[in-house]
A and B are shown apart, each in its own frame.
Chain A
Amino acid sequence: MIELFELRFPSDGSVLAVEGLEVRSGERLVVFGPNGAGKSTLLRLLAGTLPGGPALDSTYLPQRPYLFRGSAGFNMGLGLSAEEASRARHLADRLGIGEVLEYEASSLSGGEAQRVAIARAMARQQPWVLLDEPLSAQDEQDRMRIAAVIIEELGDRGAVIITHDREEAAVLGDRLAVLVNGRLLQEGSVDEVFSLPASDLVATAVGIGNVIDGEVVAGEGPLTSLLAGGMNIWGLGDVQPGHPGRALFGAESVTLFRGREGAAGSARNRWVGTVTELRQLGRLVEVVIDAGNRVVALVTPGSQEVLQLGPGANVTLTVKATAVRVNPR
């Protein structure tokens, strides 16, 4: 089942104006965007807790799950049939909250309370599942385990999941929609959007991206070459030579090699630079390189060790031209 929606809130669309949001059975659509972009408004319209939306036949986890007076177990059973309640108890065990169900809800931690709400929401078998920041209150070490339970429980249902976390988006999503200022700016597979943002607004919204301004010097089929600070950057684009351009590419599109020689390969873009900074970013390491321009790359801690990346290290960077977008500026 595929459903297409036009969503507006309020009716003049000042908070949210999305034309053609497509949700499909069996697919997890992640809506990604900065705070205040209208993500929760979009989900509330889909859930029907805000007027004027399609009110899907859905089970819905609000952004800040609220537990009412009573035990955690009482809260988990609210609105569930006997069969759903038994499924919820089973889920609670898998989510690691089986033991806290008898406790007073107000004594639970934020993460436990959210898991109670997840168990309750996932136990219902509605054809659509709407989850607003389902992992926001979870500790780093629990997040991926809970994400796995959620994905398994979704089965072949359709889901719309909201997050502003890249890693969560990558784990939870099949498809990604980027929402900024109430407008849908890009939609595509998670990899595609992260590695090839359609605009600098998207690039900023999806986080660690590389945005480099320069002048377009050549065109060759679908490719365009941009010159910026001594770097020659090839990417997909349609800007006439002689015009100012902007190159956009995701930090995970950058491959790093130790030294100034680098490795042979098909990558059109090959630059040399010096590492200036390393930052821990969740489970990955963000490497900042001066290659004539500031370029950010994402590597695993393992690669960082193997490549002996530290400030001052010389590296060769490669990026496939198809992972770069060159836009007019």
Chain B
Amino acid sequence: MDFLFEVVGDALNSLSGFGVELRRVIGLTLVVSVLATAFGVVIGVPLGAWIALGRTKARTAWLVAVNIGMGMPPVLAGLALLLLLWDTGPLGQLELLFSPTAMVAAQTLLAIPIAAGVTAGAVKGLPSAASEQLAALSLPGWQKGRVALVEVWPGVLAAVAAAFGRVVSEVGAVLVVGGNIVGETRVLTTAIVQETRRANFGEALALGIVLILLAGAVNGFLTWMQLRNARHD
């Protein structure tokens, strides 16, 4: 037990000495996660609505792809992107490897299927009367999608929350394409891995607490939005 008390004590000490490096890590974590979530949502939410608002072979194929993507190990997404961005790889001349841009790209790949899958589930969950009414309206496809998404607004917020939760807590992909370079590509999760491997448990736990507070704050905000938007009938 003494060991655990010692670790927690160390963690609280680290937190009180809120250094420049920690602030940088938190800042990069926020920027990368928020950007990846935003890109993932912008692509994934309409994709999910499209998948759910019709029954064609193409949509079914996409649904399968999305479901596979939702369960894809992040480290594999990172590896795939690493191979593309490697010096001699197809996109090597972009020189993006080990940059925050590459990290955002990797996490966007992870966020898209989550956002699409949760959105598709929400839209498919519309009452049958709503789906029939949508089909009966003479609206172009994108407008049907918009009406459906507004109707399942709390479900779309759940998609945003799930996507953010996925990317902010993810370590494999950012580690592979980012490289955990101090001051450049180090984020909270990769820093935790680093400190744990050095047996700096107090430091690692402190970073973990920050990560949880961060994720909790963002998801708390989304939950509040969800409740505010819930239909009162």
Which residues of chain B are near A44, meaning CB under 8 Å?
Answer: 132
Which residues of chain A are near B139, meaning CB under 8 Å?
Answer: 78-79
Interface members, chain A 262-302 (any B CB < 8 Å): none
Which residues of chain B are near A51, meaning CB under 8 Å?
Answer: 55
Q: Does A172 contact B (CB under 8 A)?
A: no
Say which one of A65-73, A144-152, A210-218, A309-317 lies at the interface with B: A65-73
B132 touches A49 (CB 8 A): yes
Question: How many Å from the CB of B127 to the closest CB on chain A?
Answer: 7
A62 touches B129 (CB 8 A): yes
Task: Indicate whether A106 sits within 8 Å of B232 (C-beta atoms), given known contacts A47-B136, A62-B129, A65-B133.
Answer: yes
A49 to B135 Cα, complex, angstroms: 6
Which residues of chain B are near A61, meaning CB under 8 Å?
Answer: 136
Q: Does A64 contact B (CB under 8 A)?
A: yes
Q: Does B2 contact A (CB under 8 A)?
A: no
A106 to B127 Cα, complex, angstroms: 15
A62 to B151 Cα, complex, angstroms: 18
Q: Could you tell me the dominant secondary structure of chain B's interface residues?
A: helix
A43 to B186 Cα, complex, angstroms: 61
B231 touches A69 (CB 8 A): yes
A60 to B195 Cα, complex, angstroms: 64
Instruction: Kindly identify which residue among A62, A69, A106 contacts B133, using a CB–CB cutoff of 8 Å.
Output: A62
Interface members, chain A 27-68 (any B CB < 8 Å): 44, 47, 49, 51, 59-66, 68
A66 touches B138 (CB 8 A): no
Which residues of chain A are near B143, meaning CB under 8 Å?
Answer: 79
Which residues of chain A are near B150, meaning CB under 8 Å?
Answer: 68-70
Interface members, chain B 124-172 (any A CB < 8 Å): 127, 129-130, 132-133, 135-139, 143, 147, 150-151, 153
Which residues of chain A are near B55, meaning CB under 8 Å?
Answer: 51
Q: Does A325 contact B (CB under 8 A)?
A: no
Task: Indicate whether A62 sits within 8 Å of B136 (C-beta atoms), given known contacts A70-B150, A106-B231.
Answer: yes
Question: How many Å from the CB of A164 to the closest CB on chain B?
Answer: 18
Which residues of chain A are near B233, meaning CB under 8 Å?
Answer: 106
Q: Does A124 contact B (CB under 8 A)?
A: yes
Question: How many Å from the CB of A318 to the closest CB on chain B?
Answer: 47
Which residues of chain B are near A69, meaning CB under 8 Å?
Answer: 150-151, 153, 231
Task: Indicate whether A124 sits within 8 Å of B151 (C-beta atoms), given known contacts A62-B132, A66-B129.
Answer: no
Closest to A126 in B: B138
Which residues of chain B are near A59, meaning CB under 8 Å?
Answer: 138
Instruction: Kindly identify which residue among A49, A60, A68, A124 contacts B130, using a CB–CB cutoff of 8 Å.
Output: A68
A124 to B147 Cα, complex, angstroms: 20
Question: How many Å from the CB of B157 to the closest CB on chain A?
Answer: 14
Taken residue by residue from 162 to 177, chain A's Cβ proximity to chain B (1 for < 8 Å, 0 otherwise) reads as: 0000000000000000
A47 to B79 Cα, complex, angstroms: 49
Closest to B153 in A: A69
Instruction: Kindly identify which residue among B130, B231, B232 contacts A66, using a CB–CB cutoff of 8 Å.
Output: B130
20 A-B pairs with C-beta separation under 8 A: A49-B132, A49-B135, A49-B136, A59-B138, A61-B136, A64-B132, A65-B129, A66-B130, A66-B132, A66-B133, A68-B130, A69-B151, A69-B153, A70-B150, A78-B137, A78-B139, A79-B138, A79-B139, A121-B136, A124-B138
